[in-house]
Copies of this chain bind each other. A is one copy, B any other.
Amino acid sequence: MDLSASPSRDCSGCPIRHRAVCSSCDAHEITRLEAIKYYRSFEAGQPIMFSGDHMAFVASVVSGTATIELLMEDGRKQTAGLLLPSDFIGRPGRDTAVYDVTAVTDVTLCCFRRDAFEELVGDTPHIAQRMLEMSLDELDAARDWMLLLGRKTAREKIATFLLMIQKRTQSTVEGAQDDGKEIALPLTREAMADYLGLTIETVSRQFSAMKKAGLIVLNGRRGVVIPDAAALRGETGTT
């Protein structure tokens, strides 16, 4: 799981250099970022940020997976976002977190002191634009997820989730259209349930049912093979 080849001061060679908030920065801008960045690691299960807390930093996910979680008083939980490598955590311009962020695997972050970062956003158009682009992308993703949460059946939710994971996971390798390769689920059944607006039991049952139907092959707790992505896509209810 340790893709982070011991993160260093130097941004060149960073695995997310060309996808994260810094992707469109030139050499000078990167220098400024390098000056204010620092790495931080969190173990699986650890909170990265608590709703209501003061936010001292913003960050990019370098490796691992985190979730954005919303809680209700009675304990109901909804995951409102998956944070994979290159995704951005925090909000410039706000100093109190409005949701919880939790590491679901071991996570390494590239953090920036918030005040310094905000300054940069203010006078580095490249960064401001990239921030805008990224938040608009997230907004699109959030809206697609609303359709899933509001209208899709349990089976459609699982199928959609699996294909999304496959895409975001393989796209790291850029372009490889791999049908039969095993993907490693970054989430437990419980975390998937929270993300999909379901219960653990329903997630488990749907996995079993789709396995029986030959749509997926399960390999231990985390491994899934999708023998025929097109068939699985047929189960998503398609937008």
A-side interface residues toward B, CB under 8 Å?
Answer: 68, 70-74, 76-78, 80-81, 91, 93-94, 98-99, 121-122, 125, 128-129, 131-133, 135-136, 138-140, 142-147, 149-151, 196-197, 237-239
Contact = CB atoms under 8 A, between A and B. Distances in A.
Nearest to A133: B93
A80 to B, nearest CB: 4
Contact of A237 (B72, B94, B142): B72
A235 to B, nearest CB: 13
Contacts of A136: 91, 93-94, 135
Nearest to A72: B237
Nearest to A197: B150
Contacts of A196: 150
> Which of A68, A77, A151 counts the most chain B CB atoms within 10 A?
A151
Contacts of A237: 72-74, 76
A139 B132 CA distance: 11
30 contacts: A68-B143, A71-B239, A72-B147, A72-B151, A72-B238, A73-B237, A73-B239, A76-B237, A77-B151, A78-B147, A78-B151, A80-B142, A80-B143, A80-B147, A91-B136, A93-B133, A93-B136, A98-B140, A99-B143, A122-B125, A125-B125, A125-B128, A128-B128, A132-B135, A135-B136, A138-B139, A142-B142, A149-B150, A150-B196, A150-B197
Given A71-B239, A136-B135, A239-B71, A146 B149 contact: yes
